[in-house]
Chains A and B, each alone.
Chain A
Amino acid sequence: MVEETVIQVINLYKSFGKQQVLKGVSFSVKKGELFYIIGKSGEGKSVLLKHIVGLITPDKGKVLIEGMDIHQATGVDALKLRRKIGMVFQYGALFDSMTVYENIAFPLREHFSLSEKEIAEIVKEKLALVELEGIERKMPSELSGGMRKRVALARALALNPGILLYDEPTTGLDPLLTEEIDNLIKDTRDKTGVTSVVVSHDIWSVIKFADRVAYLANGRIEFIGTPEEMLETDNQMLKRFICARLEDKLMTSLFNACRSRGSCTS
């Protein structure tokens, strides 16, 4: 089977005021892939992600979603294109005036005329997918950070998007919760086959599950490849980024253990 490219980022440039954030970023993501974008904080990873979903318009370059330019599309085309992409925001971005149920039902109500019974069924199904049941009546403010992210994922899944974007899903979570969310991202991909792009600076998340990884630095993609290739990289900056303060060999053995178990904590 030929692997189909769903996201194509071509030569993207963006600056805010005098600060140039993206200086010619290009890469593509294949269908069903679990693709990580890593890099230091403040390197423009989230900005890049927001370009893919069309929230930010680039100064130059384009983003093709299944061959269609998301920044050029207007009217109904733009809406259709945006429905193919779900996004999980860093802090969930749940509507805090609505219950969990209303949050997940929101995109369904907006785009389909479903009966209340059908909506309830879909909401239940999506909540089961993220392993949260029976919290439909709660308000987002009553949930913990991890639960809020799960609900956000359930909401992003409500429209059955072909592409899911995660903005720093594990930043600010404790190691156990990080592991939980990482597993959830992988499980979601495995269950639904959704193309997943994850922005992260957590190297262990990448090692565990990534199919491919891109390293963003100095406004460019400095490295792109599988996690195995990443470990063999010659790029000094990336090497430092991976190893942090660990010895190279120690890193390799940790890598192997982590990779084979699909877990870094057990």
Chain B
Amino acid sequence: MNVLRAIYNFIFELGDTALLFLKALYWSFRPPYRWRELFKQMEKFGVSSVSVVFITSLFTGMVLALETYTGLKKFNAESVIGSIVAVSMFRELGPVLTALVVTGRAGSAMAAELGTMRVTEQIDAMYTMAVDPIHYLVVPRLITGVTMLPVLTVISDLLGVIGGYFVSIVLLKINSHTYIRQMLNHTDLHDLYSGLVKAAVFGLLISLICCYKGLSTKGGAEGVGRSTTQAVVISSVVVLVADYFLTAFMF
């Protein structure tokens, strides 16, 4: 019985989330366009995550260079470290790492904020003032997710490459000229674009899940905690699952 119940709940929530997305889509093309609200969200989402993205990406690039070096040294192929670091950052690690970091930083904040607004009846109040909460709250957050996650991913890609370069050139004494030439030879724009498409999809999924969990919060402060945790866990899992399917379909 419990299994059936869980399946029922899963399908119910999936449908509810899809419905929220469709409603938000409908509202996003209708005036008034709240630019102020949108930029406020973008600032919150982007600026709050940038420092964490900075550090995680830098060190990921560095460790990537270090790890591949030990493996490649056996074949005297150290010079391709640059291309390995760049391709893995652009295609995989940049978008996925950024998505996970942003889920923890901005997604949780989103779910907690909307959840608190729900349990303190602020969302009901908005509705009674004839302002649609999906229009006012969800639409700017979804647009923010879709646009800001690729921006953060570009930063992440860049820092990963810088981290890899630093370790290779300064610590491992690889020739800078060959490193960069190898990197440019084996990386093309398609690697970058595919990563950015992924990032946009992840951004949408994270915002959607966190908004849904926030809006459907029930039961006071405890409920806010519960839905925030769920939002982060579900978003992280969904990002990784979606990553596989996006990769499978895009290449």
Contact = CB atoms under 8 A, between A and B. Distances in A.
Interface of A: 50, 53-55, 79-80, 82-83, 85-87, 89-91, 93-97, 106-107, 110-111, 152, 155-156, 159
Contacts of B116: 96
Interface of B: 32, 113, 116-117, 120-122, 124-131, 136
25 contacts: A53-B128, A55-B127, A55-B128, A80-B130, A82-B128, A82-B130, A83-B129, A85-B128, A86-B129, A91-B121, A93-B121, A93-B124, A95-B125, A95-B126, A96-B116, A96-B122, A97-B113, A106-B129, A106-B131, A110-B32, A110-B129, A152-B125, A155-B129, A156-B128, A159-B130
A156 B130 CA distance: 11
A159 B128 CA distance: 11
Contact of A93 (B32, B125, B130, B136): B125
Contacts of B124: 50, 55, 87, 89, 93
B131 to A, nearest CB: 5
A79 B130 contact: yes
Q: Which of B32, B124, B125 has the most CB of A within 10 A?
A: B125
Given A82-B130, A107-B131, A110-B131, A87 B125 contact: yes
Return the 9 tightest CB-CB contacts between A and B, nearest first: A93-B125, A93-B121, A82-B130, A87-B128, A107-B129, A83-B130, A79-B130, A89-B121, A110-B131
Contacts of B125: 87, 89, 93-95, 152
A55 B123 CA distance: 10
A157 to B, nearest CB: 11
Contact of B120 (A50, A54, A91): A91
Contact of B127 (A82, A86, A94): A82
Q: Which of B120, B129, B136 has the most CB of A within 10 A?
A: B129
B128 A86 contact: yes
Contacts of B136: 110
Nearest to A113: B32
A95 B122 contact: yes
Given A90-B121, A94-B125, 13 more contacts: A55-B124, A83-B129, A87-B125, A89-B124, A91-B120, A93-B124, A96-B116, A106-B129, A110-B129, A110-B130, A152-B125, A155-B129, A156-B128
